[in-house]
């Protein structure tokens, strides 16, 4: 691990605001989900334990995504503030632009996934505390890979937001624009009650919860209204998992290509203009 990568991860994981909003605040909603909003969930009946497991999976899928979205705000600020010294770092040290992007990506992705895994662990622990059910996912590697996909998309989205502000010379809007990943996270969170239908395939990351749920339980859920689906066990609009995966991969590619294009454009902007 290089010095930059170590400092990147350390600075994000020890940032009080990041810890407060992406972990502690989400932990509050973990408690609310399991102990307040799940009164009808019970281990009674032939499928009781399975329902508890699906409920836990929904909790760490949606709340984990919200946690990563909150952490992406910090990544947006990180990209913005690194835009000033980066030119000197790559010019007067052995750090090349390509090496910087790779290490920054690994560091940012690691922080996003660590946040999601913390939320996942707390959901599993509290689920066992309340119902006595060990709700481990059927395919942990599949869940982990899905979290990596979500983290990758949010990382490059934060890059796009920060670089777009730099290229547009509107850096004073960083406070408002940095919330775009979190706004997206809440839009996806609304799928607990709303069925987007085929629109879910074109909304960034809207199909990720379905992929997580499939990897954790083996079920093929609907395209939305997950809570109604959990209660009624009826799947009116069964999601196409291949299209769901393609949707996530396409959005990752879009965010990466936009980042590359914006990086090339930002090279011609003087440092003095970034201070305005």
Looking at per-residue confidence, does 263 or 73 come out higher? 73
> Measured between alpha carbons, how far is 274 from 276 in angstroms, rounded to an integer?
6
User: What's the mean pLDDT in 236-260?
Assistant: 92
pLDDT score for 267: 59
pLDDT score for 167: 85
How many angstroms separate the most distant Cα atoms in the chain? 67
> Measured between alpha carbons, how far is 235 from 229 in angstroms, rounded to an integer?
6
Taking only the tens place, the pLDDT of each residue in 29-41 is: 999 999 998 877 7
Does pLDDT of 145 surpass 60?
Answer: yes
> Measured between alpha carbons, how far is 272 from 132 in angstroms, rounded to an integer?
60
Taking only the tens place, the pLDDT of each residue in 51-95 is: 898 899 999 999 999 999 999 988 888 888 777 666 666 667 777
Taking only the tens place, the pLDDT of each residue in 168-226 is: 888 788 888 889 999 999 999 999 999 988 999 999 999 999 999 999 988 888 888 88
Looking at per-residue confidence, does 104 or 83 come out higher? 104
**Residue 171: domain span:** 3-274
pLDDT score for 118: 95
Total domains present in the chain: 1
User: What's the mean pLDDT in 3-15?
Assistant: 85
pLDDT score for 153: 94
pLDDT score for 1: 60
Structure tokens at 191: 């799928």
> Measured between alpha carbons, how far is 114 from 2 in angstroms, rounded to an integer?
19
How many CB atoms within 10 Å of residue 53? 22
User: What's the mean pLDDT in 11-21?
Assistant: 88
Q: How confident is the model at residue 274 (pLDDT cuts 50, 70, 90)?
A: very low
User: What's the mean pLDDT in 114-127?
Assistant: 94
How many CB atoms within 10 Å of residue 57? 29
What does pLDDT average to over the chain?
86
| Residue 204: closest CA among 256, 162, 167 | 256
Checking phi first, is residue 169 left (phi over 0); if not, alpha (psi -120 to 50) or beta?
left
């Amino acid at each position: 691990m290089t010095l930059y990568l170590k400092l990147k991860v350390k600075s994000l994981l020890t940032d009080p605001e990041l810890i407060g909003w992406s972990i502690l605040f989400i932990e509050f909603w973990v408690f609310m989900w399991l102990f307040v909003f799940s009164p009808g969930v019970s281990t009674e009946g032939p499928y009781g334990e399975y329902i508890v497991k699906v409920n836990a999976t929904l909790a760490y899928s949606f709340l984990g995504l919200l946690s990563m979205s909150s952490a992406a705000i910090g990544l947006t600020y990180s990209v913005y503030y690194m835009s000033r010294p980066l030119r000197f770092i790559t010019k007067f040290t052995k750090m090349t632009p390509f090496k910087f992007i790779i290490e920054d990506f690994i560091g940012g992705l690691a922080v996003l996934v660590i946040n999601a895994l913390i939320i996942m662990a707390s959901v599993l622990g509290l689920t066992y505390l309340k119902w006595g059910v060990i709700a481990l996912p059927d395919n942990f590697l599949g869940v982990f890979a899905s979290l990596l996909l979500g983290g990758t998309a949010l990382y490059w989205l934060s890059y796009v937001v920060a670089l777009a502000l730099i290229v547009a010379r509107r850096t004073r809007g960083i406070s408002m624009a940095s919330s775009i990943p979190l706004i997206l996270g809440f839009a996806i969170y609304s799928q607990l009650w709303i069925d987007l239908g085929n629109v879910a395939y074109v909304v960034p990351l809207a199909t990720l919860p379905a992929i997580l749920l499939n990897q954790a339980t083996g079920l093929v859920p609907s395209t939305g209204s997950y809570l109604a689906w959990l209660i009624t066990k009826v799947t009116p609009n069964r999601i196409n998992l291949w299209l769901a995966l393609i949707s996530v991969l396409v959005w990752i590619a879009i965010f990466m290509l936009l980042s590359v294009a914006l990086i090339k454009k930002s090279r011609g902007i003087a440092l003095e203009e970034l201070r305005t």
